[in-house]
Amino acid sequence: MPALTFALTLDRVLNGLCRPFFGWVSDHIGRENTMFIAFGLEALGIFALARLGGDPVMFVLLSGLVFFAWGEIYSLFPATVTDTYGARYATANTGLMYTAKGTAALLVPVANIVMASAGSWMPVFMTAAAFNLIAAVMAILVLRPLRAAYVRRLASGAAAVPDAVHQPG
């Protein structure tokens, strides 16, 4: 029980510290590269937590790693949206993007069904780790080239100015 209490406290602290940390890292190595690192860390952390989380020390350390990597979305996603589409409608664009997170919450009952049918949380953890690994690869292989092509089109004048993209209404 003390390990759980300590982990819960440490998780919140690390989740808060990761936001400026990953923002700083992304300013130096790029948004997509930072997403690759963060999603990869989270995949590794979830996989290791599923395998080694029975040990109290490993549970505290690995849950801390997972929460540290998980919080990056709160700095990288808004920065990526604003970098791509401009600042004028950044709030509306970021809000729209975050509807995906709310929609994903609808999968929680599915995770409960999977756990109940398997008799273990292992398939749920492995699925979460796999999706994080997929997201890490997609940040490099899909997001980076798409954003680069979009920015090139903007620079050539082939698209609307960034602050006029995705106007609400």
169 within a domain of the structure (yes/no): no
In angstroms, rounded to a whole number, what is the distance separating the alpha carbons of residues 102 and 115?
Answer: 21
In the predicted structure, residue 161 carries a pLDDT above the cut 60: no
pLDDT score recorded for residue 104: 85
Give me the residue label for tokens 């979305």: 73
Report whether 76 contacts 22 (CB < 8 A): yes
Domain that holds residue 48: 2-95+105-164
Q: If you average pLDDT over residues 56-73, what whole number do you get?
A: 92
pLDDT score recorded for residue 158: 62
Average confidence score pLDDT of the chain: 89
pLDDT score recorded for residue 32: 96
> How many structural domains is the chain composed of?
1
109 within a domain of the structure (yes/no): yes
51 within a domain of the structure (yes/no): yes
Q: Is 78 helix (H, G, I), strand (E, B) or coil?
A: helix
16: number of Cβ within 10 Å = 14
Give the percent of the chain with pLDDT over 90: 60
Q: Where are the alpha helices (DSSP H) in the chain?
A: 2-29, 31-52, 56-70, 73-85, 90-104, 108-118, 122-138, 144-155
73: number of Cβ within 10 Å = 21
68 within a domain of the structure (yes/no): yes
In the predicted structure, residue 164 carries a pLDDT above the cut 80: no
Q: Model pTM? A: 0.84
124 within a domain of the structure (yes/no): yes
100 within a domain of the structure (yes/no): no
Report whether 88 contacts 47 (CB < 8 A): no
Give me the residue label for tokens 């997403």: 35
Q: If you average pLDDT over residues 30-52, what whole number do you get?
A: 96
